[in-house]
Amino acid sequence: MSFHKHVLPNGLTIVGEISPSARSVAAGFFVKTGSRDETPQECGVSHFLEHMVFKGTPNRTALEVNYDFDKIGASYNAFTSEENTVFYAAILPEYLPEAVDILADILRPSLRGADFDMEKKVIIEEIGMYDDQPMWCAYDNAKKAFFDEHPLGNSILGTAASITALTREQMQAYYDRRYVAPNITVALAGNFAFADAVKLIEKSCGAWPGGTAPRKNITPVAPRKYQQVMTKDKLNQEQVFMLAPAPAADSPERYAADTLAMIVGDDSGSRLYWALVDPGYADSADMGFHDYEGTGGYFLSFSCEPDNTEDNLAIIRDILHQVQTEGVSDEELAVAKSKILSRVVRGSERPMGRMQALGMGWMYLKTYRSVDEELANFDAVTLKDIRGVLDKYPFDQLTVLALGPLAKLDA
């Protein structure tokens, strides 16, 4: 594999990892914008705009966008997070010119008023659908409680009220402000010629406007000891989230934090699994490490019968206290490393996986990390590193949110 980088005169960055043995190529346009970049009046606009990008351009109708992707056998989609909006496609190498042309074209959407009004109804229905999913509803509210006034607490979907109030003019202003060339990175991985790809991208994107799209409030989240119960009588299960601060995406400590989360809360073979899921006290229990620009968080969740909630919370607090005071074992560290190394390798075997890793790595670090480098970073994690993360980011102040039939929690 070989890595290449080029910056167009307008500031758009192109990064690529060439793998001659691959049978496909993946391309993604990474826009550094998401819910954390929205004002309260724009809540949900990033995700709404992701939908609108597929509704047509001055050159293509919505039907033609989908048909042109289908003609080249593309696997394509998009997603919006707190910090990024990504549009991507995986294709056979000979169809890279067409894929770049379509992706570049849809990133200059028409944003027609009639399409905006129609898609607004779709977004509001999507918000209602997610509100009916207890785990998602608990997650969104727990994130809001944990981050409090920090912009990472903004809802990705927005609310029915914020989307209803949003105007096409507000979306256009947000698009003009955030979708400037220096705020976009194109990542490619697989079997392709980088020089040819640069020419394709420059032809399609070279005239895009420059400018700046600064991100505000890049600060660590403060620990918040807080507990909230949201009662929904019609639910049969209690959904609980427990959150605590963790390292940021650009911190060297992220490798130890990810490994620690695997030890404590991997959905199979972790301390939470053996303490809660295996004996049948909870239907699910896991802990993940989420890293962002400037901060990070441990997200621990479980679901169970309401009557088991307080006992399960007590068990989890005991586990976290034990880990905090005693650390983890050599065997646990070895097993976690094996799982993570396997995850990294398997995720990197396809160009789509490498494109995602390449793009996200560049968005946060502005540097290239090969698969071997990523493996070495995880393999180098020691018990001392785990201890360092525990000392710097202790589990002593947790944000807890429960959603379900319970009216209160004493744990």
Q: Name the strands in the sheet holding 284-292, side by side, starting at the edge strand that comes first in the sequence.
A: 226-231, 399-404, 238-246, 295-304, 284-292
Considering the chain, what is the average pLDDT of its residues?
96
Check: pTM over 0.85? Answer yes or no.
yes
Terminal CA-CA length for the chain? 52
Total domains, the chain:
2
Is 200 inside a domain boundary?
Answer: yes
What are the Cα distances from residue 31, in Å, to 7, 99, 107, 127, 360?
15, 17, 10, 23, 10
Both tokens assigned to 268: 């199979």
Is 212 inside a domain boundary?
Answer: no
Is 410 inside a domain boundary?
Answer: no
Q: Are residues 201 and 246 in the same domain?
A: no
Q: At 284, is the pLDDT very low, low, confident or very high (cuts 50, 70, 90)?
A: very high
Q: Please state, for a pLDDT cut of 70, what percent of the chain lies above it.
A: 100
Q: Are residues 109 and 141 in the same domain?
A: yes
Beta bridge mates, 13: 7, 185
74 compared with 347, residue with greater pLDDT: 74
Q: Are residues 261 and 185 in the same domain?
A: no
Q: Are residues 168 and 200 in the same domain?
A: yes
Q: Are residues 233 and 355 in the same domain?
A: yes
DSSP 293: T
Beta bridge mates, 273: none
Q: Are residues 258 and 182 in the same domain?
A: no
According to the model, what pLDDT value does residue 1 have?
A: 82
Is 215 inside a domain boundary?
Answer: no
Q: At 257, is the pLDDT very low, low, confident or very high (cuts 50, 70, 90)?
A: very high
Statement: residue 77 has pLDDT above 90 = yes
Q: Are residues 266 and 164 in the same domain?
A: no
Q: What residues contact 269, with CB distance under 8 A and at least 6 apart?
A: 335, 339
Residue identified by tokens 């940021």 is 248
According to the model, what pLDDT value does residue 268 have?
A: 85
Is 306 inside a domain boundary?
Answer: yes
Q: At 214, is the pLDDT very low, low, confident or very high (cuts 50, 70, 90)?
A: very high
* Measured distance CA(356)–CA(26) in Å, rounded: 9
Q: Are residues 199 and 247 in the same domain?
A: no
Residues 78 and 106: beta-carbon distance below 8 Å: no
pLDDT digits (tens, 9 = 90+) for 131-165: 889 999 999 999 999 999 899 999 999 999 999 99
Statement: residue 84 has pLDDT above 70 = yes
Boundary of a domain, candidates 140, 170, 205: 205
pLDDT digits (tens, 9 = 90+) for 300-357: 999 999 999 999 999 999 999 999 999 999 999 999 999 999 999 998 989 999 999 9
Q: Name the strands in the sheet holding 184-190, side by side, starting at the edge strand that comes first in the sequence.
A: 2-7, 13-18, 184-190, 25-31, 85-91, 75-80
Statement: residue 7 has pLDDT above 80 = yes
- In which domain, by residue range, is 331 found? 226-404
CB-count exposure of residue 291 (10 Å: 0-12, 13-18, 19+) = buried
Is 409 inside a domain boundary?
Answer: no
What are the Cα distances from residue 67, in Å, to 95, 104, 116?
14, 16, 21
Is 213 inside a domain boundary?
Answer: no
pLDDT digits (tens, 9 = 90+) for 96-135: 999 999 999 999 999 999 999 999 999 999 999 988 899 9
**Beta strand extents in 173-237 (DSSP E only):** 184-190, 226-231
Q: At 411, is the pLDDT very low, low, confident or very high (cuts 50, 70, 90)?
A: low
Is 120 inside a domain boundary?
Answer: yes
Boundary of a domain, candidates 205, 239, 270: 205
Q: What is the CATH number of the domain that holds 17?
A: 3.30.830.10
SS (H, E, C) 179-193: CCHHHEEEEEEECCC
According to the model, what pLDDT value does residue 233 have?
A: 85
